[in-house]
């Protein structure tokens, strides 16, 4: 099949785009760049979930589906407790973490909440109403969150360990952004005194049944 030269595609885009859409395209390009730059790190940092990364990759929609932002369906049956998987929706990486009872318990420890900038998810742009709760989720055990730091859009790394050497005794597991040092917990809530201003974004999502999650469509 003949492939048209990319310069032709760029020219066509330039002819049909408006200043606003060009701004959106540049923003999307930047997001994609951050994602691609960090992709190598992310694949490794899925941690316990690294073994199932190929499974995650298999849920990437076709190029056409991505272009129109089609929802992505995820089979949850192969996720084990403590594992995280990455899927791509609208060109953005989305994490699905199956939290253990221990992980959920830690989210509410008083000393940890004191370290969070917005422990109760009061910034409404960062999650749909159905995820504005203690676990930032529909089903407490599943965290569904956009894997882009709310500072400048880098992809944070997954560090579920507790009291790690790297993050200190107070660390209860979460995400670390290597770009400028922002930290988030296992509900995607940002800590105080870091550059990221807000919690990670929870994308629209719903459960089709106990085993299947759909990203890109709101729960009604």
Question: Which positions lie near ligand FES, rule CB under 6 A?
Answer: 149, 151-152, 154, 177, 179-182, 195-196
Contacts of 160 (CB under 8 A, 6+ apart): 47, 48, 82, 84, 103, 173, 174, 186
Collapsed DSSP state (helix, strand, coil) of residue 21: helix
- Residue with smaller CB distance to ligand FES, 177 or 186: 177
Nearest-approach distance from CB 195 to ligand FES, in angstroms: 5
Nearest-approach distance from CB 54 to ligand FES, in angstroms: 27
Nearest-approach distance from CB 183 to ligand FES, in angstroms: 9
- Residue with smaller CB distance to ligand FES, 149 or 213: 149
Q: What are phi and psi of 97, to 5 degrees?
A: -115, 130
- Residue with smaller CB distance to ligand FES, 137 or 157: 157
Kindly give the residue spans of alpha helices, DSSP state H, lying in the chain: 6-16, 19-45, 53-57, 63-67, 101-107, 110-113
Beta bridge partners of 191: 116
- Residue with smaller CB distance to ligand FES, 90 or 151: 151
- Residue with smaller CB distance to ligand FES, 29 or 102: 29
**Token representation of residue 10:** 């760029």
Q: How far apart are CA 28 and CA 13, in angstroms?
A: 14
CA neighbor of 160 nearest in space, from 148, 171, 147: 171
Nearest-approach distance from CB 160 to ligand FES, in angstroms: 19
Nearest-approach distance from CB 154 to ligand FES, in angstroms: 4
């Amino acid at each position: 099949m003949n492939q048209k030269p990319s310069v032709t595609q760029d020219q066509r885009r330039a002819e049909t785009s408006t200043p606003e859409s060009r701004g959106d395209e540049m923003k999307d390009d930047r997001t994609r760049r951050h994602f691609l730059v960090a992709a190598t790190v992310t694949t490794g940092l899925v941690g316990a979930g690294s073994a199932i990364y190929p499974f995650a990759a298999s849920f990437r929609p076709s190029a056409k589906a991505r272009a129109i932002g089609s929802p992505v369906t995820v089979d949850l049956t192969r996720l084990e407790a403590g594992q995280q998987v990455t899927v791509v929706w609208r060109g953005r990486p989305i994490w699905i973490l199956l939290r253990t009872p221990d992980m959920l318990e830690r989210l509410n420890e008083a000393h940890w909440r004191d370290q969070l900038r917005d422990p109760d998810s009061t910034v409404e742009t960062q999650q749909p109403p159905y995820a504005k709760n203690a676990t930032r989720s529909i089903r407490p055990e599943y965290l569904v969150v956009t894997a882009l730091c709310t500072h400048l859009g880098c992809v944070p790394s997954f560090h579920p360990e507790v009291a790690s050497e790297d993050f200190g005794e107070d660390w209860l597991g979460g995400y670390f952004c290597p770009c400028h040092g922002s930290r988030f917990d296992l509900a995607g809530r940002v800590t105080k005194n870091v550059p990221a201003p807000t919690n990670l974004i929870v994308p629209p999502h719903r459960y089709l049944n106990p085993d299947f999650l759909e990203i890109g469509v709101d729960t009604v």
